[in-house]
Chain A
Amino acid sequence: MKQIINIQEQYGAELHTRQMMERLAASLEPTNEYLLDMSGVEQISRSAADELYNLTHSDMHVDLINLEPFVEKMLSAVTKGRFLPRRHLAGDMPIIHCATIGSVQRQLMAK
């Protein structure tokens, strides 16, 4: 029988860090099966979602239920990030060498 863990009750409505999810993973027994109830978890960082992805794709028997929209979207983004090649879309920025503080000031004022 799968054990249900209410994440919001244990970790709050916002999951901020990788360490938080690593702590969750460490608390689980490898031989048990778990359902992580995500209801009430309104926000999750990309890092925490990435660790949650690791957890649900590990040898552990862990599934997620009741995802809130933001969490679902973030997990979807993280999942895509695993399979799509990294693209560096921002491109290079111009680097301006300022030898003096005066030249820094000119650059700042030339906004």
Chain B
Amino acid sequence: MKVELIIPIDSLRGKLREDGFYFRKYRGQQIVQKCPNRSRHVKTESEVERAIFLISALPQTIFSIFLLHISKKSCTFAAAKVLSWLERMIHSTNISTLEGVLLQFFDSITTNDQKVAPTPYSRAMTSVFRCQEVDGVIPFALDDDSTANVINQLKEHMSESCPELLKSLNMPLTYLFDELICNIQQHAQTDRGYAYLKYNKEANAIEILIADYGITIYGSYVAAQKHLDKLGDSDAEALNLAQNGYSVKNLPETENRGYGISSNIKMVVDGLHGEFAALSGNALMLQMATNRKILALPPEIDFKGTMIMVRIPAQVPDGFNIYDYMS
């Protein structure tokens, strides 16, 4: 096992050295390595895995950086030390950059919470958040042809990686894409969306991201002057209204508006036993079978748009019927 870390040296200096690490230059950068003279074996494999998971959530862009190499032989010792340090530090803000939080968020919505490194999925989300291009994220215009094309592209990608799965999930996925992309067209006041779909073999799940840099869900209620009494000035309340089917359109009682998020959450979470998350402005909604909550985020996490993240297990549950989620 070899793990390469990039973490802020300033936060570490003077802490790990006492516990058996030392600093030196490596290819022009400060690195820290375990001091062989003080090596000892103290922790279990599961704790090592835990440490690696925590490490994967670390920020990668601040201050000076160093690399830490953990060989298989010494990983138990080294990871245990890092684990101990991380568990003290993870709740403080000085190492918690946005990127770290986002990567961790995405890793945290996976069912296996022990990660060696951020997944392509969490990297895709982080890149979209930071308006950066990344492989696998498809930008698309919101006209008819582009919308149809991107849905076909996503499904083609899936048919290449897991054709059998596409057969069983074709209808739900199309339904999901239709609703989410229509939401962007109707409400986001933008001319572009971003889509990502990949089959994660390790987790045996489909990972989906649909995002835009529009006016946010809160902004769409405000623009339509709808439900302002319930809304206040809160992105979190806006997400709460959206997941409960409150429309921003003028005639929600006589048109089929406002079903987009609520019907998809129900289908994904209840029907397909998946996970659904939405980041809009500075609020984050997390919907899983065992945990449903909205986080009103601190001001430093403010996404200028809306990002929907969905994870669907590859095994379609017995008895799942898409028609149950269309009423």
Contact = CB atoms under 8 A, between A and B. Distances in A.
Interface string A58-84: 000000000000100110011011100
A2 interface: no
Interface residues of A, number: 50
A95 B237 contact: yes
Contacts of A111: 108-109, 113, 286, 288, 290-291
Contact of A16 (B104, B109, B144): B144
Contact of A43 (B91, B171, B323): B171
B262 A90 contact: yes
B175 A105 contact: no
Contact of B96 (A16, A80, A95, A102): A102
A20 B178 contact: no
Interface in A1-40: 12, 14, 16-20, 23
Contact of B174 (A14, A17, A18, A100): A14
Contacts of B109: 111
B164 to A, nearest CB: 18
Given A12-B148, A96-B293, A45 B182 contact: yes
Nearest to A21: B144
Given A16-B151, A111-B288, A101 B93 contact: yes
A93 B143 contact: no
Residue from the set A14, A18, A85, A105 with the largest chain B CB neighbour count within 10 Å:
A105
Nearest to A23: B144
Nearest to B237: A95
Interface residues of B, number: 70
Contact of A107 (B143, B171, B295): B295
Contacts of A109: 104, 108
B296 A96 contact: yes
B229 interface: no
A95 B148 CA distance: 36
Contact of B182 (A12, A18, A97, A107): A18
A101 B293 contact: no
A99 B327 CA distance: 39
Contacts of B285: 93
A102 B88 CA distance: 11
Given A49-B256, A93-B292, A100 B298 contact: yes
A103 B301 CA distance: 12
B255 A99 contact: no
B236 interface: yes
Nearest to B92: A102
B185 A17 contact: yes
Given A16-B178, A19-B185, A94 B301 contact: no
A18 B186 contact: yes
Given A14-B151, A19-B185, A105 B288 contact: no
Interface string B278-315: 00000011101011111111101100000000000000
B318 interface: no
A53 B251 CA distance: 15
A73 to B, nearest CB: 5
B178 A98 contact: no
Interface stretch (B6-14, B16-24, B62-70, B238-246): B238-246
B252 interface: yes
A108 to B, nearest CB: 4
B326 interface: yes
Interface of A: 12, 14, 16-20, 23, 43, 45-50, 53, 70, 73-74, 77-78, 80-82, 85-109, 111
24 contacts: A16-B144, A18-B182, A19-B144, A20-B144, A23-B144, A43-B175, A45-B182, A46-B326, A47-B178, A47-B186, A48-B178, A81-B255, A85-B253, A86-B247, A86-B253, A88-B246, A92-B244, A95-B293, A96-B294, A97-B236, A98-B296, A101-B98, A101-B300, A102-B96
